[in-house]
Amino acid sequence: MGYEDAPQAVSLLSIWVLGISVGLTACTATCLPFMGALVVGAGHSPMTAFRQTGSFALGKVMAYAVLGAVAGLFGEVLLDVIESNLGNWLIGGASILAGAFLIYAPKVAKGCSTSRLFQGAPPFVLGFVLSFVPCAPLAALLAAAALGADPVQGLAMGTAFGMGAALTPLFVVVPLLSHFGRELVNERPTMMVALRWTGALVLIALGLRRILLAW
Question: Over the stretch 123-177, which tens digit does the pLDDT of each residue have?
Answer: 999 999 999 988 888 888 998 998 888 999 999 999 999 999 999 999 999 999 9
pLDDT in tens, 77-97: 777 777 788 889 999 999 999
pLDDT reported for residue 107: 59
- Asked, for residue 3, whether it belongs to a domain, the answer is no
Give residue 84's pLDDT: 80
Q: Are 141 and 18 in contact (CB under 8 A)?
A: yes
Q: What angle in degrees, to the nearest 10, is found between the helix axes of 151-165 and 46-74?
A: 150
The predicted-structure confidence for 42-73, as pLDDT tens digits, reads as follows 888 899 999 999 999 999 999 999 999 999 99
Asked whether residue 2 is domain-assigned, the answer is: no
Query: Considering the chain, what is the average pLDDT of its residues?
Result: 86
The structural domain count of the chain equals 1
Residues spanned by the domain of 121: 10-214
Composition of the chain by helix, strand, coil, percent to 5: 85, 0, 15
Burial 162-183 (b: 16+ CB within 10 A, else e): bbbbbbbebbebbbebbbebbe
> Per the domain annotation, does 5 fall within a domain?
no
What are 190-204's pLDDT values in tens digits? 888 899 999 999 999
| 180 belongs to a structural domain | yes
Structure confidence at residue 1 (pLDDT): 45
CB atoms within 10 A of CB 143: 15
Lowest mean pLDDT among 102-111, 126-135, 183-192: 102-111
pLDDT of 113 higher than 70: no
Asked if 195 and 70 count as a contact pair (C-beta separation under 8 A), the reply is: no
Model-level pTM? 0.87
Q: Is residue 4 part of a domain?
A: no
For residue 105, being part of any structural domain is answered with yes
User: pLDDT (tens digit, 9 = 90+) per residue, 2-37?
Assistant: 434 444 544 889 999 999 988 888 778 889 999 999
